[in-house]
Amino acid sequence: MNKIGAYIHIPFCEKKCYYCDFAAFPNLENWIRPYVSNLIKEMNFYRQRMDVIIDTIYIGGGTPSYIDARLIEEIVEEIYKFKTDIKEFTIEANPNSLNKEKLKTYKKLGINRISLGVQSFDDRVLKNIGRNHTRERALRDIDLIREAGFKNLSFDLMLNLPGQDMDSVKKDLDFVKKINPDHISWYSLILDKGSRFYALDKEGKLDLMDSDLEVDIFDMIIDELSRLNLKRYEVSNFAKQGFESLHNKKYWNGEGYFGFGLGASGYLLNTRYTNTRNLAIYDKFIRENKLPIINKEFIDRDEKEKEYIIFKLREAQGINLKTFKEKFKADFLEKYKESVDKFYRDGFFEISDRISFTKKGFSLSNEFFLEII
């Protein structure tokens, strides 16, 4: 029987950050209870139609830790009505939204991984990006997570934020060394259309790093994290051995996963689907006993091959050439010879029984992907 993942979206938060274009809404308290009821109905729709085993769960947002822990409990009770063999169960949280009782409930529910949205340990930078927490609060919540007995702690940090410079990032690294997390996602700022930062950038009002400086700083981050045994296993993800995100690997390996909730995407039976991002439309679909899907795309063999290349080359281990040939009945080095040779000559690829980007090759990965698509 197929083992698949489950992503569950909680679209509520206390305050929307300036860089955010996710399906996330502050100050909609009256929608929370009805939304959770609809989410449970959506999960039940799938459970009645599909016989699968769920082995990874990821509750994201928004800020899942913002809502009452009893509502998270109701959601988890519903997901456990599926057949399960849980290897990893993550919930996202933000500083300012955790307490001992919530963490106790999460632990009781079988959640074994916390992903904390820290973004920066610089209070000035946090204010610039619209975060509602301070460094002190983040450090306190990290202590709470550890005291609650969670052995798998991940947190997000960001690069190229307004007001951020080399000194600020070095201070972030100092705190990483003190905290000694199991996993870090360290992303560069992306200006998503619809975010406040996107609009400010279009008006020329956003002061960001020079691109060369950003590359230099990220190279330093990679080296410093490696010294802490946080190895880069994907473009923006670093982990100690055995703490790589199992759920995220499902995306990168082209495996199946449910997407439950507002704006969530899933991948089932070679079909990718996306739910509506509109709360009122989501509510209408569920009340009419319909799945809230607004887009479906069948992933054919050619598209699957392209996606496999892109996702696997985002990982540090790259593509196993033998596995690629078995999956797609083609020799990767021959089929993409012209592009591979060019990037290899320039020192952007390492080739053995597998092909992977070098450290400097990662920074130009999108150029390679554009060539082969």
Whole-number pLDDT of residue 275? 98
* In the chain, alpha helices (H): 29-49, 69-79, 100-108, 123-128, 135-147, 166-179, 196-202, 211-227, 246-252, 279-287, 301-314, 321-328, 332-335, 337-345, 359-362, 365-372
Closest CA to 44 of 85, 90, 79: 79
Question: Taking the chain, what is the end-to-end CA distance rounded to the nearest angstrom?
Answer: 33
Exposure string of 295-325, with b = 16+ CB inside 10 Å and e = fewer, is eeeebeeeeebebbbbbbbbbbebbbbeebe
Q: What is the spatial distance between Cα 74 and Cα 38, in angstroms, rounded to a whole number?
A: 12
AA letter at 310: I
> Per-residue pLDDT tens for 199-209?
888 888 888 88
Give the other-Cβ count within 10 Å of 154's Cβ: 20
pLDDT at residue 277 is higher than 80: yes
pLDDT at residue 1 is higher than 80: no
Residue 263, both tokens = 């704006």
Residue 360, both tokens = 């400097």
pLDDT at residue 135 is higher than 90: yes
Whole-number pLDDT of residue 216? 92
Q: What is the spatial distance between Cα 93 and Cα 287, in angstroms, rounded to a whole number?
A: 29
Residue 324, both tokens = 């690629």
What are the two backbone dihedrals, phi and then psi, of residue 182, each rounded to the nearest 5 degrees? -90, -25
Closest CA to 368 of 249, 330, 356: 356
Whole-number pLDDT of residue 293? 98
Whole-number pLDDT of residue 360? 86
Whole-number pLDDT of residue 203? 84
The secondary structure of residue 257, as a DSSP letter, is E
- pTM comes to 0.95
Give the other-Cβ count within 10 Å of 38's Cβ: 21
The number of helices, as runs of H, and strands, as runs of E, in the chain is: 16, 17
| Mean per-residue pLDDT over the chain, rounded | 94
Our measurement of the distance from residue 127's CA atom to the centroid of its chain's CA atoms, rounded to an integer in Å, reads 23
Average pLDDT over residues 279-283: 97
